[in-house]
Amino acid sequence: MQADEFSGLVNQLPSKSLRNITPLLEKIAAHPDERTKTVLTEILNGDLYYKKNNKQVVSIRKHPDGDYQLTDVLTGDSLGVASKSSMKKIRTSNRIRSTIRGLIAQLDLTHKDAQVRLAAVKQILDDPDKQSIALLKTLASQEQDTDVAELMETAIGVNQLKRGNTDEQLAAAKQLRESLEPAVRNAMVNQLSLLDEIEKTELTAAEKKLKAELTSAIDKIKQKRSIYEFIENMFFGLSLGSVLLLAAIGLAITFGVMGVINMAHGEMIMLGAYTTYVIQLMFPQWIDYSLFIAIPAAFLVSGFVGVLIERGVIRFLKGRPLETLLATFGISLILQQLVRTIFSPLNRTVAAPEWMSGSWQINPIFSITFNRLYIIIFALTVFFALLAFMKRSSLGLHVRAVAQNREMARALSVRSDRVDAITFGLGSGIAGIAGVVLSQLTNVGPNLGQSYIIDSFLVVVFGGVGNLWGTLVAAMSLGSINKFLEPLTGSVLANIIVLVGLVLFIQKRPKGLFPQKGRSAD
């Protein structure tokens, strides 16, 4: 019954003139039908027409050839294409458009969903007008949601700061001195600029008091913003550090146990990223769960390739670091070309699951993106799981024994060749997991691993070869330092400064922050 009533109201639009259309629009806006906002928005945008022959109200989209693509505004059904001459526009004026904006604002501000109400207040906050502020004053005392009520009061305060008298502006400045909304700071800065212009002549006592309050409030807001900017840089630094941790931790193990400079480590990362891409191609209906499949799959694929490299090449070059470096560099080129042959040289995009999209809005200037938050948690989980494995398992004990004194471990019947293969496979598998993480931050391509191999070696050298805690501290430190330097120097210069700093650090502590212990550590 309500749907028929709403359709009747909409179908009256073609017969109304500019003088008497406003009461009809108010009736449409007051109707509880879910299509109300759509109809009002189409009128506001100038996209609501009616057919001349039967007065049917339609929404139009202009065709490239000049004709109109029609959609029934009540049912949403496509009505095909019609010529421009067969249609007539529902006319509006500036006064009517202003009325419609107010009606849409009222719809949003009284919506049952608090997030819709919050978004509506934010729109008003940027450019408050007399009609919207009057509506906010009416609704603010009735609002049940604390966040929405506070933002309503903020919008009223911003309007008071812009258009009130000196006493009202002073009260608004005191009220808003803790607010981090950009509109509040802009309004304060603009008002202070106006007072600076007046000061060239003479300020009244009230205006001097207002100027002092505005200056104090702006300084207070600036201090709060700097705190949250610091926290934001720290968060992004930790997220970058988490990626470096996953990329470097496998390298730290293989380098510490075997003394092998593995230039193909970046390609293990790349293989993990491509494994994620392939899994999404195989199971497109399971995008939200694809990462849970990709993580073990990437570990197995990269780990298996790592074992093949160790068994097929590296074990024959033990004790010959230069030949090992050249051999693994050649393997990296082979793997890159293999991927180009199979997947083409073009970058591939891996879709992010819905649960990793979006952000957690802490306040108007600081938000935490879910994907980076999950990456930090995941990287720390992998780190502590690996640490527990190395400390608690018999294989971990063997790995640590071989790393400290290979000959003594062999004398105690530890099969060092088997430990080498498993260690290399474990390090490569963790690199594959790093590739899964990177696929959520950047495009997947044949050169993906090359972007992180140098940083991985820097992390290992800075933290101390073979020391997991050193790798954690080094990764987080380098990631944070980079993010704090980038806004000041740019990304390229920041990398150069970090590199120079590391070179100077290694001059003083060539074994890194946490040097390896044992008789063969030298």
DSSP string across 7-50: HHHHTTGGG--TTTHHHHHHHHHHS--TTHHHHHHHHHTT-EEE
pLDDT at residue 270, as a whole number: 92
Phi–psi pair at 280, nearest 5 degrees: -70, -30
Q: What is the pLDDT of residue 199?
A: 61
Going by C-beta distance under 8 Å and a sequence separation of 6 or more, which residues neighbour residue 469? 463, 514
pLDDT at position 189 is: 87
Name the β-bridge partners of 363.
366
The reported pLDDT for the residue numbered 406 is 72
Length of the chain in residues, anyone?
522
Which has the closest alpha carbon to 266: 332, 321, 323, 341? 332
Q: Centre a 10 Å sphere on the Cβ of residue 161 and count the other Cβ atoms it contains.
A: 25
As a whole number of angstroms, the distance between CA 198 and CA 139 comes to 36
CA-atom Rg of the chain in angstroms: 32
pLDDT number for residue 29:
80
Helix 21-30 to helix 36-44 angle (10° resolution) is: 140
The confidence score (pLDDT) of residue 201 equals 65
Sign of CA dihedral 208, 211, 215, 216: positive
Distance CA(332)–CA(264), nearest Å, equals: 4
pLDDT given at position 520? 47
| Residue ranges covered by each domain of the chain | 2-95, 120-127+136-203, 234-355+371-450
Secondary structure percentages of the chain, helix, strand, coil, to 5: 70, 5, 25
Can you give the pTM of this predicted structure? 0.77
- Mean pLDDT of the chain, nearest integer: 83
Q: Are 479 and 241 in contact (CB under 8 A)?
A: yes
CA atoms within a 13 Å half-sphere pointing along the CA-CB vector of 322: 0
Give the residues of the chain that fall short of pLDDT 70. 1-3, 64-65, 199-201, 466, 515-522
Measured between alpha carbons, how far is 471 from 250 in angstroms, rounded to an integer? 10
Q: SS3 string of 247-298?
A: HHHHHHHHHHHHCCCCCCHHHHHHHHHHHHHHHHHHCHHHHHHHHHHHHHHH
Instruction: Write down the pLDDT at residue 200.
Output: 62
Half-sphere exposure of 440 (CA within 13 A, CB side): 29
Ramachandran category for residue 344: left, alpha or beta (phi over 0 → left; psi -120 to 50 → alpha): left
pLDDT of residue 470: 86
Report the alpha-carbon distance of residue 264 to residue 254 in Å, rounded: 12
